[in-house]
Amino acid sequence: MQGTTAELVAAAQAYRRLLQTARAVLDAWGDTPMAAMLLAEPMAEADAALAAAGLAGNEAEFFAMAGLAGEGEEAGTAGIGAGP
């Protein structure tokens, strides 16, 4: 079951912040332990927002709603790394 419009918007905003943070952190720190530490909080925020919107475990539905369906599916990361 999907959440309210406000919860869906919050999930989309958290996901966007996660993508922006991931790009910045990986550009600055690359594949280092520090990068993982810096991404822990935005990943937790996105997970919590997806759960509140009723989309935890159903990220494919979230990506479809966000217009990102099909991107990155071969790697199991639909939408990850999609352009701005």
DSSP letter string over 20-48? HHHHHHHHHH-SSHHHHHHHHHHHHHHHH
Closest CA to 14 of 60, 68, 51, 61: 51
Q: Alpha-carbon distance 45 to 26, whole Å?
A: 18
Position 79 scores a pLDDT of 44
- Token pair, residue 44, equals 């937790």
Q: Alpha-carbon distance 49 to 83, whole Å?
A: 22
pTM over 0.75: no
- Whose tokens are 């943070």? That residue is 21
Of all residues in the chain, the percent with pLDDT exceeding 70 is 79
Position 84 scores a pLDDT of 41
